[in-house]
């Protein structure tokens, strides 16, 4: 894959994009992120306070490629690899945690070791289909909470997530 990098001015931001694109040039297993998409994704990362590295851009491209959805770190790792990205599973986990901290994703812990990352970050709730391991969005206004407990002294409630676990009814 070859492409020409055209940036009008040299700033720290364009230097990051240039370095990222240059790293992709001629790289075995080069990613399918176009220079235009790389610039857009880099800007999105910057708006959320993250430096746009090659791996962050590759992972954000994989996450953004299929619209709003719920993904595991393993699925993102597999999808990124299929797109030509060269990242370890540990890097995927760390990057998803960084994206969550920056507000690009939200993390949903559904059982001990099972977590999903939600690309939809507006307020909403979820059904969790236990047999399928699938999350389904539920509109925030569809859930009515009539009473919340008082938080401990010195604390305030900043939000809550409702996950309703489902299983098929035996016939």
SS (H, E, C) 29-67: CCCCCCHHHHHHHHHHHHHCCCCCCHHHHHHHHHHHCCC
pLDDT tens per residue across span 85-95: 888 999 999 99
- Which among 56, 10, 67, 9 is positioned nearest to 33, based on CA atoms? 56
Per-residue pLDDT tens listing for the chain (171 residues): 333 444 444 555 555 555 555 554 444 445 568 888 999 999 999 999 999 999 999 999 999 888 899 999 999 999 988 888 888 999 999 999 999 999 999 999 887 778 899 999 999 999 999 889 899 999 999 999 999 999 999 999 988 889 999 999 988
pLDDT at 113: 76
Enumerate the domain spans of the chain: 12-109, 122-166
pLDDT at 63: 92
pLDDT at 14: 55
Triad 19, 83, 122: Cα angle to 5°: 85
pLDDT at 5: 42
- What 3-state DSSP class applies to 106? strand
What average pLDDT is seen over the chain? 84
Which numeric CATH code is attached to 12-109?
Answer: 1.10.10.10
pLDDT at 158: 87
pLDDT at 49: 97
pLDDT tens per residue across span 6-18: 444 455 555 555 5
Triad 69, 58, 34: Cα angle to 5°: 105
> CA-CA distance, 13 to 62, in Å (whole number)?
22
């Amino acid at each position: 894959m070859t492409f020409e990098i055209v940036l009008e001015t040299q700033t720290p931001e364009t230097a990051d994009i240039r370095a990222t694109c240059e790293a992709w040039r001629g790289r075995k297993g080069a990613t399918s992120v176009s220079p235009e998409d790389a610039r857009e994704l880099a800007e999105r990362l910057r708006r959320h306070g993250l430096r746009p590295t090659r791996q962050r851009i590759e992972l954000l491209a994989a996450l953004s490629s299929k619209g709003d959805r719920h993904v595991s770190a393993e699925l993102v790792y597999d999808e990124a690899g299929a797109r030509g990205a060269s990242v370890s599973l540990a890097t995927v986990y760390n990057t998803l945690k960084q994206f969550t901290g920056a507000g690009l994703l939200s993390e949903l812990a559904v059982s001990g070791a099972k977590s999903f990352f939600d690309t939809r970050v507006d307020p909403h709730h979820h059904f969790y289909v236990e047999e399928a391991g699938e999350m389904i969005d539920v509109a925030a206004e569809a859930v009515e909470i009539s009473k919340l407990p008082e938080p401990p002294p010195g604390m305030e409630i900043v939000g809550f997530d409702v996950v309703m676990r489902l299983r098929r009814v035996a016939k």
